[in-house]
Amino acid sequence: MEFERRLFVEQLKNWKLSPHRKPLIVRGARQVGKTYIVKKFAATHFKRTHYVNFEQNKRARELFAEDLAPKRILRDISFLLDTPIDPANDLVIFDEVQLAPQGITSLKYFYEDLPQCAICAAGSLIGLNLAGDSFPVGKVDMLTLYPMTFEEFLEALGNKLLLEYIHEHPTKRIISEAAHKKLFDYLTQYFVCGGMPAVVKMFAEYQDDLYQATKVVREQQLVLIDTYLSDFAKHCGKANALHIERVFRAVPSQMAGSPDSKAPRFQFKDVVPGISQYAPLASALDWLGRAGLILRVPILDKPIPPLAPRVKESRFKLYLHDVGLLGALADVKVEGILKFNFSNFKGYFAENFVAQELMACNARSLYCWKEGGAEVEFVLDRGSYGLPIEVKSGNFKQAKSLRVYLERYNPKEAIMLTGYAAATTPIAGVKVYPLYLAGRFAGYPP
């Protein structure tokens, strides 16, 4: 089964056609589909593709030992692959390039000395190498690939009718109850499956037997989590790996410990015995962020643009990069997720899903707002105002926090995402939409 991944393909097209194109770095978590989508894109948009995998081919790691001259590097790749390279028409892919860090540095010289050459670097943990004096600042383009979105999930399952319906559905119209019921059923399946391509592929193969599909999916997710844990140990040393694993596991455990169905501010106490402050955990949090395994959402107390300068480094909420892995890591039972009846955890799933959708659909940054006892789950920087996005998995008659936000900051618009097809709210200026349309509000303007 092939996945189109339309959102990312469009970004790759824009990169290829840009008159100011630079060498491209593709970031994203392990097994999120980076190599697959770049190679698939290359097959239809370039004359030839020259693929170098630095994990599989140890000889390839020596390409940068002599110097970082692009013409010499391309010549040696031609010898290595036994094929000529046309820099003006071909694509060169450096995969698992984190194993040859000088390969990242060389991108600077490709940009300066051979700008016509289309070159793309990718790797499971490439984000860990995007620091230090050798990083080619300003000399590369960067794209991040996230897990498959809900719409891409529908496409993978072959549900063209529903996919066309929501593609054609402007957010000003009301979704029919019949369509909503089907869409929400698929949304709960997405909550179980998530958007990791290998997991989605397995779910699609067994989708006619939902029990078997969810069983094999959960098994695959646990294998993937074990792979991540192995990465911690392999790349960080024993002591650091333990800290990273504890932070990783703390994401769902802290959600479960919150009494109000909202993802809480991340608490440092008791994550690692003897540590109760941010600083000793900062490196573990940074590692998980650069590896693409967590989404960090800063908490603002004043959502007055520009929002970025108002961030306090130690105040944030954490989500996993994939809602399906959230369920597996927390051992939430599949039956409850499918019925959307799994205690107060469904609120966290809804939030994690919305965060994941917004980031995958090109929201540049996410923020949360907390002031006194009021909280709005997400705020997007719209330049002249902060767009509040309230997430409600259940009853939303009060929406007290959103009301407070509107009274204090008077944004041009406000969004509420719920489990209903269409709903009204007594709060003027608030637009209410079903959860599965979350990605529609990521871009600017909405």
Which pLDDT band, with edges at 50, 70 and 90, does 446 fall under?
A: very low
What are the tokens at 410? 């008077």
Looking at domain 6-144, its CATH architecture is 3-Layer(aba) Sandwich (3.40)
Provide the sign of the torsion angle of the four alpha carbons 300, 301, 303, 308, taken in this order.
negative
Distance separating alpha carbons of residues 395 and 445, to the nearest angstrom: 29
Contacts of 228 (CB under 8 A, 6+ apart): 30, 248, 293
- In the prediction, which pLDDT does 268 show? 94
Give me the percent of the chain exceeding a pLDDT of 90: 74
Residue 125 has pLDDT above 80, yes or no: no
Count of CA atoms in the C-beta half-sphere (13 A) of 327:
31
Instruction: Please give the model's pTM, rounded to 2 decimal places.
Output: 0.93
In whole numbers, what is the pLDDT of the chain averaged over residues? 91
Question: Cis link prior to 252 (omega < 30° from 0)?
Answer: no
CA dist 90 → 17, 37, 118, 139, 318 (Å)? 14, 17, 7, 20, 40
Model pLDDT for residues 128-139, shown as the tens digit of each residue: 666 555 778 899
The more confidently predicted of residues 225 and 135 is 225
The structural domains of the chain, with segments of one domain joined by +, span: 6-144, 150-441
